[in-house]
Amino acid sequence: MSRLLRLRRSIGMVAMLVLVSASLANASATLLLEEPYGKLGFFTATGHAAVYLSGVCAETPVVLRACAPGEMGSVISRYDGVRDYDWVAVPLIPYLYAVEKPEDIPLFVDLKMVAFLRDQYRRKHFEEVASDLTDGEAPGGNWYELVGSAYDRASYAFEIQTSTAQDLAFIAAYNAAPNRSHFRTVSRNCADFAKDVINFYYPKALHRSLVADVGITTPKQMAITMVKFSSRHPQLAFSRYVIPQVPGSAARSSAVHGVVESFFKSKKYIVPSVAISPIFAGCVAAVYVGTGAGRFDPARQAMVYSAERGLESPIGAEDRRSYQIELNHLLAADAARTNRTHVEKSLQRIMSGAAPGFDAEGRPVLRMKMGDEAVDLGVAEGNILAADNSGRLAEQLMEARLREELRRRNPPRTSGSEIEHDWALLQKAMDSSDDQVASRTGRPLQLGAQSRWGRAGNQP
């Protein structure tokens, strides 16, 4: 064997070891505990469970493959009513935001924009599981739950380390097995699927509770057992984080509960029970207190996920209050200068009269009429400050986003650096609005940029 050939083989082996080491360091399995929302949150508070695998990607929604370098993996979950499939895999960013790039994620949404983004993604990537109806419209079923999850609800993520070998074994097993739905609420639900996936990687890691959930597998119980399993295996580099619900006009999602906990905390169930059978109600209370499920806080010591910045610490309570005060001052000064409270409609009313669409770069916009003029409002970070955008509408959108992010609520909604970033966008939008007013009137504003609170160089 020539020296050159041996050298080439040695280099190849080193490169392979580097790639394998990188895969071992980065591969992970993450249990997603998703809050209930809408009617689902009213009737049952158990939420949804899914699994994000960073080393497993979706060749199609129902065919898995190993991820190439730079790919982010996929979320695999079970929903009833998605054609006849038992599970579907979706890349992480589309699963959370119904777009393909982080810079295209809308900063503030309404239901019309969410439906538009979901349907556009479906038409491009999801026809296999949700094809058009005969009239070309979107089909029914629960396919929409698999695209844009973060518009509907917040999620809690519980991550443990895996290996490339485990990923490859999982891909081979799930591609070979029949992918046919036999969904049952009690014994074959979304949490059962998440349990089976995690247990494929680490057998017997997750299990249901016969007492706290009367034998039904629930998403919260899966999170509780995931935390307990990770505490027994510190070598798996456990981490936990929150994926916030995207700010918007839709109702915010609600807290996740187990079965007994849902019954105990719901007045429409527990109050009649006390009247009809105090002994039964007492037993429910005893189970709730005895199991300790109500004391489990999924947001405890959690980081905050950002699609563009990764994991960051949540903003502290004191910093949040300081930003709220500064935002109120900034907007009060702007209202006095522009009389904005008397001449501008609310952002929600403006959005309701707009049509969602895409700009030339494929980023989401709202198309609307301002008098006789057609205006496109970019709603993503990549186009909100576009030259032909309406500065005043961009300003309103960023104001609404910041107000939602700064509102006190569990789970944490944002990080300190995210607030700083959004604050800077608001200031730029206000500057753009000033420039547009000056260009239309032919004269500069009487109050300059430094008259406002929180200008560049004077941020809180």
- Tell me the DSSP string of 402-433: HHHHHS--SS---BHHHHHHHHHHHHHHHHHH
**246 with 363, same domain?**
no
Closest to 177 in 3D by CA, of 189, 193, 191: 193
Domain carrying residue 420: 314-451
Residue bearing the bigger pLDDT, 123 or 265: 123
Chain centroid to Cα 358, Å, comes to 21
Q: How far apart are CA 200 and CA 187, in angstroms?
A: 18
Question: Are 76 and 175 found together in one domain?
Answer: yes
Give the total residue count for the chain.
460
Please check whether residue 459 lies inside any domain of the structure: no
Within a domain: 240: yes
Q: Which percentage of the chain shows pLDDT scores above 90? A: 55
Average pLDDT of span 180-203: 93
Q: What angle do CA 380, 383, 388 make, to 5 degrees?
A: 135
Domain total in the chain: 2
User: β-pairing, 239-243 with 155-161?
Assistant: antiparallel
Choose the final residue of a domain: 277, 305, 333: 305
pLDDT digits (tens, 9 = 90+) for 355-378: 999 998 999 999 887 777 778 889
pLDDT of residue 255: 87
Q: Is 146 a residue whose pLDDT tops 80?
A: yes
Are 228 and 366 in the same domain? no
Q: Is residue 41 a contact partner of residue 266, using CB atoms and an 8 Å limit?
A: no
Report strand pairing: 303-306 vs 74-77.
unpaired
CB 114 within 8 A of CB 151: yes
Backbone angles phi, psi at 288, to 5 degrees: -60, -45
| 437 is a domain residue | yes
351 and 218 share a domain?
A: no
Range of 72-76, 323-327, 434-438 with top mean pLDDT:
72-76
For residue 94, being part of any structural domain is answered with: yes
**Displacement of CA 285 from its chain's centroid (Å):** 33
pLDDT at site 329: 86
Question: Would you say residue 293 has pLDDT above 90?
Answer: no
Same structural domain, 194 and 331: no
Asked which of 271, 305, 339 is the last residue of a domain, the reply is 305
Among 51-65, 245-259, 443-457, the minimum mean pLDDT is found in: 443-457
- Residue 264, H or E segment: helix 259-265
As a whole number, the mean pLDDT across the chain is: 81
For residues 27 and 127, state if they share a domain. yes
What average pLDDT does this structure show over 183-200? 92
**161 CB-side CA count, 13 A:** 13
Residue 440 clears pLDDT 60, i.e. is over it: no
pLDDT-derived band of residue 285, with 50, 70 and 90 as boundaries? low
Distance between start and end Cα atoms, the chain: 68
Strand partners, 113: none
Where is average pLDDT lowest: 199-213, 262-276, 320-334, 347-361? 262-276
- Whether 262 is covered by a domain: the verdict is no
Residue 278 lies in a domain: no
pLDDT number for residue 290: 54
Same domain, 51 and 191: yes
Structure tokens at 321: 């209050």
Instruction: Report the SS3 class of residue 55.
Output: coil
- Residue indicated by tokens 């503030």: 108
Is there a single domain that holds both residue 339 and residue 428?
Answer: yes
Same domain as 143, residue 72 = yes
Q: Is 205 found in the same domain as 65?
A: yes
- In this prediction, residue 413 has a pLDDT band, given cuts at 50, 70 and 90, of confident
Residue 293 DSSP label: G
CA distance 139 to 141: 7
Same domain as 71, residue 195: yes
Residue 352 lies in a domain: yes
For residue 289, give the H/E element and its range.
helix 278-291
DSSP calls for 76-140: EE--TTSTT-S-EEEEHHHHHHSSSSGGGSBSSB-HHHHHHHHHHHHHHH-TTTSPPPTTSPPP-
State the pLDDT at residue 411: 84
More confident residue, 93 or 428: 93
Query: By the 8 A CB rule, do 150 and 96 touch?
Result: yes
Whether residues 99 and 242 fall in one domain: yes
Q: Which of 51-60, 160-169, 288-297, 417-426 has the lowest mean pLDDT?
A: 288-297
- Structure confidence at residue 369 (pLDDT): 78
Q: Is residue 400 part of a domain?
A: yes
In contact, 77 and 251? CB cutoff 8 Å: no
